[in-house]
Amino acid sequence: MAKSQPIGNYEITTVIDTLPPPRDPALVFQSIPEEAWDPYRSFALNADGMWVTEFKSHLIRSTNKEGPIILVDSGLGPTDDDQGKLLDNLNNLGVQVGDVDVVVTTHCHGDHIGWNVSYKDGKPELTFPNATHWIARNDWDHHTQKDNSDPAFDNSVRPLEKLGALKLVDGVETIAPGISTLPMNGHTPGHQNVLIKSKNSTGVIIGDLFHNVAQVTEQTWCPVFDWNTEMSTECRRDLLSRAMNEKWVVFAGHLPNGSSTGRVIEQNGLPHWQPV
């Protein structure tokens, strides 16, 4: 079910695409010993000790219904077993594919770009026919190098150029009044967040800055998916401390629905996640 949170004049809604099977944390966080999970086990893992995640998007709309409709990330996309529900769930919110003006990609991994392009008779078409796709130039440059080719990128991002829907983003760029990209490189070379500032409230859509809620406290823990763990750790520390000090609302890409929107609060001298 979709969950909405106001940030000043904007409303941010979590829109689920796919619910993948739980994963073994020992495989995802390979450098973290099993016992290090003990303080977090009761809320960061399920009863079987597995990490539960989701593939989702965030929808940004202004509360007065004016201004662009912005979708941040586009999920895993269509699957053979019809698991991807992003378009159905947008529809349930009254948003048709033609209504979306901007799709911001936090980074070019397959679970964030899946619905960008649909294929008919093997030919790529825009799923959101009126949208411009905002891709960080660093990710584009990385994946268009031959050594870094990736089928998900070739399938869902590369065709955007020929389809005339690609906008390459350099650092901080304004999407709409109060809404901008915020580079947070490390998870991928061009990983970016979306910052929303309106009427003294701030929200941030963090993509894959962290994957499990334990990382809000254990900010040096990195999953195997991080491209450069030094850079991803530095960004994670920087953003989470700003979010805590300035009381930002944080929209997390991979936490389970119901607890994926939260604030970073201090508890016993340590940062903790508090769902809102």
- Binds Zn ion by CB under 5 A, chosen from 73, 111, 139, 218: 111
Q: Take residue 161 and report the two structure tokens written for it.
A: 């150029």
111 versus 139: smaller Cβ distance to Zn ion: 111
Residues whose CB falls within 8 Å of the CB of residue 101, separated by 6 or more in sequence, listed in order = 68, 69, 70, 130, 131, 132
Q: How far is the CB of 109 from Zn ion (least distance, A)?
A: 5
SS3 216: helix
Closest CA to 7 of 176, 178, 216: 178
Q: Sheet containing 261-267: which strands, arranged edge to edge?
A: 174-176, 179-183, 192-198, 201-205, 249-251, 261-267, 270-275
- Contact between 47 and 36 under an 8 Å Cβ cutoff? The reply is no
Least Å from the CB of residue 211 to Zn ion: 7
Total number of residues that touch Zn ion (CB under 5 A): 2
Q: How far is the CB of 187 from Zn ion (least distance, A)?
A: 8
Give CA–CA dist 256/55, Å, rounded: 9
What kind and span of H or E run contains 162?
helix 159-162
> At its nearest, how many Å lie between Zn ion and the CB of residue 230?
20
Can residue 226 be called a binding residue for Zn ion (CB under 5 A)? no
Enumerate the β-bridge partners of residue 276.
none
- Asked whether 127 and 117 are in contact (CB, 8 A), the reply is yes
Q: How far is the CB of 64 from Zn ion (least distance, A)?
A: 32
One-letter amino acid at 116 equals: N
Nearer to Zn ion, 139 or 208 (CB): 208
Choice between 178 and 207, CB closer to Zn ion? 207
170, 182 contact by CB (below 8 A): no
Convert residues 71-110 into a mask of x (bound to Zn ion by CB under 5 A) and - (unbound): ----------------------------------------
| Residue closer to Zn ion, measured from CB, 17 or 218 | 17
Amino acid symbol at 81: D
For Zn ion, the closer of residues 111 and 218 by Cβ is 111
Residue 69 vs 209, nearer CB to Zn ion: 209
User: Minimum distance from CB of 113 to Zn ion (Å)?
Assistant: 10
* Closer CB to Zn ion, 208 or 226, in the complex: 208
Alpha carbon distance 89, 225 (integer Å): 27
- Minimum Å distance from CB 188 to Zn ion? 10
Q: How far apart (Å, rounded) are the C-alpha atoms in residues 184 and 181?
A: 9
Residues 187 to 216 in contact with Zn ion, rule: CB under 5 A? 208
Q: Which residues make up the interface to Zn ion (CB under 5 A)? A: 111, 208
